[in-house]
Amino acid sequence: MKKIENLFEITLKEKSGGWFFWFFLLFIPHLNLFSIFFISNLLLASKIKNKKDKSFYYLPFTKKDVFFILYFFLILLIFSTSFFNSLLISRYSLKYILSPLIFSTAIYSIGIIASSLNGDNFAITILFIIFDAILSNLGSSHLGANFNPYILISPIRQESLIGSILFSLALLFIAFKLYVGGESYVKN
């Protein structure tokens, strides 16, 4: 538990003013997805891209620890604000709380995948959002001539919560495998 607290503290102290701004935007409808996009990208993917993730390994953290603790931090942050927002606007649906979690998992994963492959995490995630918007607007989710199965797994449109969750978790698994990649950087 102390490891989790230490990594949370390091993450929050690093850019406390920026975190306050993005956290504040999570409570504003229609701006919260913008905030989720940036928080998901800034947590780990931008550190990988700028080679600043190595600073975690001077502490007793493995890559696996960093990946999952920061993901847990992201999910805890998004869940708490989504739950609070649902109480404020009296929208007590599971989809209202799960949708931001699915979106943040997908963006977190794609950012890490891009950074792990030496790509630009922001550019790739923006391209993914554009690609997702185009693909999820083609055809329909109903069986027939215009059936488009991507609509069912889209992390933005989320016609099927189960399909979207599974797709986001598959992206998370790929991101984990690419980031950890056999090396764990254990401090001796």
> Closest Cα to residue 83, out of 74, 92, 75?
92
Asked if residue 166 is part of any domain, the answer here is yes
Asked if residue 186 is part of any domain, the answer here is no
pLDDT band at residue 140, thresholds of 50, 70 and 90?
A: confident
Cα–Cα distances in Å, from 79 out to 36, 117, 175?
Answer: 11, 29, 21
Provide the domain count of the chain.
1
Tokens of 169: 């978790």
pLDDT in tens, 28-56: 777 788 888 888 888 888 778 877 777 67
Of the two residues 11 and 82, the one the predictor is more confident about is 82
pTM: 0.86
pLDDT in tens, 59-109: 777 888 889 988 998 999 899 888 887 777 766 677 888 999 999 999 999
Structural domain range at position 117: 2-180
Asked if residue 9 is part of any domain, the answer here is yes
The position carrying tokens 């102390």 is 2
Q: Is the pLDDT of residue 132 over 90?
A: yes
Asked if residue 188 is part of any domain, the answer here is no
Instruction: Answer for the pair 113, 51: CB distance below 8 angstroms, yes or no.
Output: no
